[in-house]
Amino acid sequence: MKERERWYQNSFAFTALLLWIKTYLVYKLSFNLPTMNWKQELILIINPLSSVLFTLALIYFFPKRFHNRTTWIIALIFSIVLYANTLYYRFFNDFITVPVLFQTNNVGDIGNSLIAQTYWYDIFFFLDIILIFYFVKKGFLKPSSYTKRSLVKLLAVASIFLTVNLTLAESERPQLLTRTFDRELLVKNLGTYNFHIYDLLLQSKTTAQKALADNVDVVEVRNYTDQKKVPANEELFGIAEGKNVILISMESTQQFVIGREVGGKEITPFLNDFIQESYYFENFYHQTGQGKTSDSEFLLDNSLYPLPRGAVFQTHPLNEYYATPEIIEDHDYHSAVFHGNNKSFWNRDIMYNTMGYDEFISEEYYSINENNQINYGLKDKPFFEQSMAYLKEMPQPFYARFITLTNHHPYKYHDEDQAIPTFQTNDPIVDQYPVTVNYTDQAIKQFIDQLKKENLYEDSIIIIYGDHYGISERHDKAMAQVLGVDEISPFDNVQLQRVPLIIHIPGMDGETISRVSGQIDLKPTILNLLGIEDQGIHFGTDLFSDEHEDIAVFRDRSVVTDRYVWTSDMCYERESGKEVSVESCQEAKDQLKELDLSDSLIYGDLLRFSNFAIE
């Protein structure tokens, strides 16, 4: 009985037990970490222990009078890390990485989304902290007795748990630590806390790459991209020479809303009509990572892949790039970005300067009040209306990119802006989605009408595209209802990553094109339409070329080709969705080399060694 009392009264043991139990419960209730057998479940159970024990061992390096206080502080830090990952996972279906932590200046701007992911029962994340504090105050918990021998024993036990964890994990998933792209898999096998330690090591490694890089490293990348290049479509090359380029980025707009109705009303009536007089790519995929909208911007202007961790705009804004605005400047183009949010969000003010934009029309240029803003800034209709005053005064030809905002998670809207019914799934995020998509559709229609009124329409090619997904996998149950299927499979999730791409060229008839493509292909396509022969490095190919290869490589290392879809270590036929042998997707998997080459280019800042780099 005496020994039992000592155990309960040991603040170290009590805290370790609570953190262990809490972490396991969060794994099961807050994260999607399914287990297929007893071994995977055992890994999930034991993986928090080593990091909890190793970290709590730090208390022995403090005087005994500080043990309880230090134990409580460590427990609080662990709880904050766990809760921060939960909030991030609810929003992005992903885990926090070190580069994401550099994006803290974005936190204030995504407040609505964070609030939408916060629930009353989240207090239970910190219930153990409250208990520890209460029991320490009441004298129930006693400081841990310190001896060198007890410290050695503790470290030995922690090491044993870590070794068993890694051994089991490696047996379940060979070469686990090379799969840095699959954060869910890493957390599932290493644990949340060990994952963050591993992520720190990865960050150190990537930071060193730039210092160690030299001009030889860029040769392999350039050889690869030179081999990928395809001849332009002879009929369309230069067809837009000297014309303005207007690009509209539709926030969080997925392809499944195109042509779909809710309550008998079209979600995108204008886009449905505009497609009939434009080139429409129905198998066009977003390829963004943790950088979301900023990643889509990076893909568009550079034809390089975003990074596997964090956002290029935040982590490498001062690299040398060879972006579209820099290239077309030599052809007398004036370039600008319009966005009704603050200029520092996603570090845009710095990155746009790096990429050679002449102007950034941000929040400070607009008249914004409580009536014309929602979520993250100016609503789309007043955004386009106010932008026109700047656009019509710009030197022509111009390259102007507009970033919409209203259709952003959690898809809030003012009652007067609702023109169509909501979905009826009992999932508020999914249900509200068509209303805000429809509002953006109306705003774009008004903008196109304004372009016609200002005599800019006929002198411009207009490119409208979705920047990234809007509904994450956390809402698969509701999405299954919307799509009329029993469940959303991994194959279905890949298909939901399709986003609209509409290219309107004055004087050209409309056509729906079914070839597989992605955001990486936009830069070479635009340059060829403008008649600009570019010799830079880019991983995409002209969408209109007869030799364009049907392929879309995702940042999570899924791949779509003309015949197959590779995702979640499974292979599917693209047309039927039927699962086939893994060997069928070998050619698709070979394309993943592109991601590694692109990453090396960015981490090493290799474009500074290229002879086409802009001085």
Take residue 32 and report the two structure tokens written for it: 């999607």
Whether residue 233 contacts residue 528, with contact meaning beta carbons closer than 8 Å, is answered with: yes
Please report, as a single letter, which amino acid is at residue 205: K
DSSP letter, residue 422: P
Q: Average model confidence (pLDDT) for the chain?
A: 88
* The pLDDT of residue 55: 86
Report the SS3 class of residue 559.
strand
Residues in the chain: 615
User: Strand ranges (DSSP E) for 8-92?
Assistant: none
Strand partners, 579: 572
**Helices (H) and strands (E) in the chain — how many of each?**
23, 19
* The pLDDT of residue 613: 46
Residue 358's nearest CA partner among 393, 404, 400 is: 400
Domain ranges in the chain?
Answer: 2-209, 246-382+398-441+461-543
- CATH fold of 246-382+398-441+461-543 reads Alkaline Phosphatase, subunit A (3.40.720)
Low-confidence stretches of the chain (pLDDT beneath 70): 1-10, 92, 99, 101-117, 138-147, 175, 177-182, 535, 612-615
Over the stretch 96-130, which tens digit does the pLDDT of each residue have? 877 676 655 555 455 555 566 677 778 888 888 88
* The pLDDT of residue 579: 96
Tell me the H-state helices in 330-407.
348-354, 380-391
User: Strand ranges (DSSP E) for 80-123?
Assistant: none
> What value, to the nearest 5°, has the Cα angle with vertex 354 and ends 531 and 107?
120
Pairing type for strands 284-285 and 501-504 reads: unpaired
Buried-exposed string 55-75: b where 16+ CB fall within 10 A, e elsewhere: bbbebbeeeeeebbebbbebb
Active-site residue identified among 192, 206, 293, 406: 293
**293 given a catalytic annotation:** yes
Write the DSSP string, 187-247. Answer: HHHH-HHHHHHHHHHHHHHHHHHHHH--TTHHHHHHHHHHHH--PPPTTTTTTTTT-EEEE
Residue with tokens 């409250």: 130
Query: What's the CA gap between 581 and 187, in Å, rounded?
Result: 28
Tell me the H-state helices in 496-585.
522-529
Query: What's the CA gap between 383 and 339, in Å, rounded?
Result: 8
How far from chain centre, in Å, is Cα 148? Answer: 47
211-218, long-range: CB < 8 A, 24+ apart: 212/604, 213/604, 213/605, 213/606, 213/609, 214/609, 215/609, 217/600, 217/604, 217/606, 217/609, 218/537, 218/601, 218/604, 218/606, 218/607, 218/609, 218/610
